Structures are given as C-alpha cells and as structure tokens.
Homo-oligomer: A and B are copies of this chain.
C-alpha cells in the first residue's frame, strides 16, 4: 500500500504520466488522438449515441469491450418527455468533467494533493436563436459560469494558478472558448 501511495497522486499513476510525457517528447505523433461518436435519431427530440473506439498514441484503442451509450431527450417544455438530458446539458457535463480532470492532472504534476473538488455550472440560452426568430441572437450559450470548490494541501494562490491553467488547457473548455470548425457532410439515402 505504501509503495502504491508514493507512485500515485490524486488517483493518477505518476510513473505512467511522466513516461507518457517523455514518450510524446521523443515521438510527437503519439500525441495525435481522434475521438468518435455514432448517433441515431429515435423520434422527436430523442436520439442515442454509441461511443467505443478511438485512435491515439499511434494505434486504434481496443481497451473497451462494450460501447458506452447515451440518450438525448428533451423536457416537456421543449416538446419531449425527458427521455434523457438534453444536448446543451450534456455539454455542461463534458465541460465540468474536462476542467476537473485537467485541474487534477496538473495538480498531480505539481505535487499538489486534492482532497475534494466539485463544480456547479450554469449557462444561459435564448431560444430566439434556435427557433430562428431573431438573427441577432446567437443560438448557443451566451456565457457559461463555473463555481469550483477545492480542498487541497496548498495555498490559495496555487489553487488560483491551477484554475487558470486548467481553464486554458482543458480540451472541452478550449473548444467552447475558441471558434472550432464543424464540417457537416451529407450522405443521402433515397426515400
């Protein structure tokens, strides 16, 4: 147990973490990842994704024997039956998780032990955009706010530095904060 303890930090295997960084420095192409999802419409605002395979570290990953499946739905006020959370709520879940993991990862690299970490997110959307009722209104989130509660064995300033670093280096946060191109290609089937 003691040997295990000294080699991990915040639940992350430190040896493997520093080996990964050294491997990427030696062979930069190992850092290239491609993530994937497949989604099928069911009815109305209900649809379902399956997520399993991805490419990374120079190979197709085969660690998952079963796919993850997630169902999007809508509440009654948005014409659904709460078949699942809705897509903009899943986006908040993705953002919360990514900022959290990026924070925990870089805390471990700096030798900061996290005891507790939780976040609360809220984001504002004006349906005039989605419904095409006002071209001046953006359909997406106007702003997203994250309240992060941290308990750790360090000074406040180190926490603030880590928060700023996690915000700048989280892949989902960066995808939200920066304009990322989305290309849609049609594959038509004859009716």
List chain B residues, Cβ under 8 A from A102. 130
What is the 8 Å Cβ interface bit string for chain A, positions 96-112, against chain B (1 contact, 0 not)? Answer: 11111110111000000
* Chain B residues closer than 8 Å to A184, beta-carbon distance: 99, 146, 148, 163, 167
Complex Cα–Cα for A121 and B50 (A): 11
Q: State whether A101 and B115 are in contact (beta carbons under 8 Å apart), knowing that A82-B63, A92-B51, A184-B167 are contacts in the complex.
A: no
Which of B20, B74, B85 touches A70 (beta carbons < 8 Å)? Answer: B85
Using a CB-CB cutoff of 8 Å, which residues 109-125 of chain A contact chain B?
114-125
* Contact of A138 with B174 in the complex, beta carbons under 8 Å: yes
**A63 CA to B125 CA, complexed, in Å:** 19
Q: Is the CB of B144 within 8 A of A183?
A: yes
Given contacts A72-B101, A187-B148, contact A120 B36 (CB under 8 A): yes
Which residues of the partner chain B approach A11 to less than 8 Å between Cβ atoms?
Answer: 42-46
- Residues of A26-64 at the interface with B, using a CB-CB cut-off of 8 Å, are 28, 31-47, 49, 51, 54, 56-57, 61, 63-64
- CB neighbours of A141 from chain B (8 A): 171, 175, 180
A57 to chain B, nearest CB (A): 5
Nearest-neighbor residue (CB-CB) of A45 within chain B: B101
* Inter-subunit contact B182/A139 (CB<8 Å): no
Known: A68-B84, A178-B179. 16 other contacts (CB 8 A): A16-B79, A33-B124, A37-B93, A51-B85, A56-B78, A70-B85, A70-B90, A87-B172, A88-B175, A90-B90, A105-B130, A130-B169, A143-B181, A144-B181, A149-B188, A150-B187
